[in-house]
Amino acid sequence: MKTILLIVMFAIFLNPFAGISQELMNGQLIAQKTNDRNEGVSLKRDLIMELKDKRGKTRVRKTVALRKYFGKEKRLVIFYKTPTSVKGTAFLTFDYPDATKDDDQWLYLPALRKTRRISAANRGDYFLGTDLTYEDIKLETKISNNDYNYKTMGREKIDGHDCYVIEAIPKDASIEKELGYSKAKFWIDSQIWMMRKSESWDTAGNFLKTVKVSDIKKVQNIWTIHHINVVNHKTKHQTTFKFENNDYDAALGDDYFTKEALVDGL
C-alpha cells in the first residue's frame, strides 16, 4: 500500500502539467481576446467555395462577399458569379447582437425572380451546402463568448505559430443541441488572437470536424484570413473557402445590404 502511495505521489510530482495551469491564460479571456480583434468596419472580397464530396468530386462556386458593421449588428451579402446555373443568386443575412433575436436571412433566386426569406436557421445548420455552420460563418474564426465553458489545455505550435489550446464544452444541453457540438477544441494564435485550427465532436460524441485556417496576412493593416479548410470526418465531405482581393476600404454603401439590392446584383 505504501509503495503504491509513493508511486502515485511521485507521478504527481513528475506530471509536467501539474502546476503549469496557473501560468496558462484563462480560456474565457482568450475567447474575449478573439472578439476584441480589429475587423475593420466593412470588407469586400471574393469568396471562392470549393466543396468536395467523399469521392473527390468538387463543386466550385465563385462569389463576391460584402460585410459591414452597422453598430454592433453585422450584415453580410453574398452574390454568386459561377456556375452559370446559380449566377445572380444572392444571399443576405442580418446578425443581431441580441442573442435572443433570430437572425434574418434572405435568398434571391433569379430564375424565379423572387427573394425568399429563409426561416431562422439553427445555429448548427450547414451554411449553403458547406461544412461550416451558420454559427461558424457568423463568428468568422472568433470564439463564442457565451456558449462554452473553456479550459486551457496547454500550448502548441500550428504552422510555426504559438497557440493556446483550449477545450470548450457547451454550457448546457440546449446550447449543445443548437450548435450540434458536444465538445470543441480551439487552437488560438497567442500573438494575433485568431483561431488557426479547431476540432469538434457531434452530440453523440463522434469526432466530427477539423477546421484549419491558414494564410493569415495583414491587409490594410488588419490581420486577414485567406484560406479555410473544413473536413467532416463523418461524411468525408470537405469545404475550402478562399478569400481573395480583400478590401477594407471599398466604398460599401448601406444600400448594398438590403433585400432590394439582391435583385440588382453587383
Q: Is residue 53 involved in binding other proteins (CB under 8 A)?
A: yes
Binding track over 158-197 against other proteins, x by CB under 8 A: ----------------------------------------
Measured from the CB atom, the residue of 155 and 233 that comes closer to other proteins is 233
58 binds other proteins (CB under 8 A): yes
Burial pattern 178-193, b for ≥16 Cβ within 10 A else e, equals bbbbbbbbbbbbeeeb
Q: Which of 128/163 has CB closer to other proteins? A: 128
235 binds other proteins (CB under 8 A): yes
Inter-CA distances, 129 with 50, 61, 71, 87, Å: 10, 11, 29, 16
Contact 138, 74 (CB under 8 A): yes
Helices and strands, number each (H, E), in the chain: 5, 15
Question: Which residues have CB under 8 Å from 181's CB, separation 6+?
Answer: 124, 170, 200, 201, 202, 203, 208
- Interacting positions 81-100 with other proteins (CB under 8 A): 83-86, 89, 91
265 makes contact with other proteins (CB under 8 A): no
Which residues lie near other proteins (CB under 8 A)? 51, 53, 55, 57-59, 80, 83-86, 89, 91, 105, 107, 109-112, 116-119, 121, 125-131, 204, 206, 234-235, 237
